[in-house]
Every structure is written in C-alpha cells, then in structure tokens.
A and B are shown apart, each in its own frame.
Chain A
Amino acid sequence: MKVFALIAVIITGAALIYSTFEMPDWGDAGSPANTHVSPRYIESSIKETATPNIVTSVLADYRGYDTLGETTVIFTAGMVCILLLRSKKDD
C-alpha cells in the first residue's frame, strides 16, 4: 500500500517538475502574473483610495466581496467548532 502511495507521489511530483520548465523564472518582472492587473493596482491605489499600503486597499476595497466571503468562512468555522464540541457541564 505504501509502495503504491510512493509511486503515485513520485509520478505527480515528476509531472509538476516537468511543468515548471515552462514557468517564468523566479523574480521575473515581466511574467504574466506581474503584468496583468497588478500595475493598475500599484499605480492607482493612492489616487483612488488614499491608502499607501496596497495590500490593504486591494484586500478591502478592490476585492471587498472576496474578503466578505473569507470572513464568512471564518465565522462559519467558529460556529461549527461550537456546534460540534460544546456540551453543558452537567450532561
């Protein structure tokens, strides 16, 4: 069983390493991830939101729906922990 797991892991890792030959180099400023939307965030953050920390302005302003969903996920996790585990003392 552990041999099959090891074989599956090695095959998956080899496929992933093969795929990295097509990836942009580490720290490449011209890679697609660094040129698609982030220059707009960097340029217009202080003009549009008056917030120098771009991470905060993207987190709370440009992607507000996303953060609302994440907060709801955290809230649901807390409620699930209470529902699963909490029991009264004299039960």
Chain B
Amino acid sequence: MIKDFDNIIIKTVCRILTPFLQIFALYVIAHGHYSPGGGFQGGCILGASFILLVIAYDIDTVKKRMSEKLNTVMCSLGVIIYAGIGLTCLILGANYLDYGILHRVLPVDAVKARAMGTLGIEIGVGITVMSVMISIFLNIASGGKHEEGAID
C-alpha cells in the first residue's frame, strides 16, 4: 500500500531539505537569546525533520540514523541536563536553578553566567522535545510495531 507511493521528486527534495532544516533548528535553539526562538521551537523543528524523513522514505531509514535506544536515552538526557544544571547551582552554594552562581566555573561574570545557564537548559529542552516528538510519531503511526503498514 505504502510501497506504491514511490516518487523520486519527493524523496530527493526531502533528502536535500533535511540538513538545512536541522541547521535551521540548531540556529533557532542557539540564537534564542536574540531573536524569536528557543528550546521548544527548535526541538519541534528538529523532530519535524525526522518526521519528514519517515513520511518521504520509511521507518527503517530513520531508525538507521536515530535508533530507538538512542532516542529513548535522549528523551531522558534532556531532563537530566536541565536538572543537572539546577543541581550544579545547588552544589556551588546558591538556590536551585539560580544560574548567577555559575560564574565560579565559567569564565564570565555573574550576569553573563545567567545567559549561559539559560542556553544550557534550552539545549536540554530541545533534546527532550525532539526525541519525544519522534517517539510519539513513530509509535502512533505504526501502532507500536515500528514497521511499514503495521497498524491493525
């Protein structure tokens, strides 16, 4: 059913478009301090680039690039980065998630350290949002079987 839909134009365009989408997503995450953007938006674009590959190719193509184990690990890695930055502030002697104290370990002053801490948790949020989008889409689109046309 799905194999019949095998269009060379769609496949080529999606393959060429995907790296640019991912670079744009990283730009949205990293430039979120100065322009509209941040972890949630960039993570959604990153996840959408993988979902585009699933739609244009098939699930196995994406699972070669982002295996299920890696995806599940990255789900929790983002939350761990977020909570770990908060815990670092706690260890250094400030309140939980009070990034100003990070100037003791980073080569910047206290105000810039807050921006650095913000960037760190944006990266964590982006990783979590990306892998949750991919896992929700793969599980719902294939009914949990992770193979083509397996929904019953």
Contact = CB atoms under 8 A, between A and B. Distances in A.
Contact of A60 (B79, B118, B147): B118
B111 interface: yes
Interface residues of A, number: 31
Given A68-B83, A71-B124, A85-B139, A53 B36 contact: yes
Nearest to A64: B97
**Best-buried of A47, A48, A74, A79 by chain B (most CB within 10 Å):** A74
Nearest to A46: B111
B34 interface: yes
- Grouping DSSP codes into helix (H, G, I), strand (E, B) and loop, the B interface class, with mixed when no group exceeds half, is helix
Contact of B114 (A50, A72, A77, A78): A50
A82 interface: yes
A59 interface: yes
B46 interface: no
Interface of B: 32-39, 72, 75-76, 78-79, 82-83, 86, 96-97, 99, 111-112, 114-115, 117-118, 121-122, 124-125, 128-129, 131-132, 135-136, 139-140, 143-147
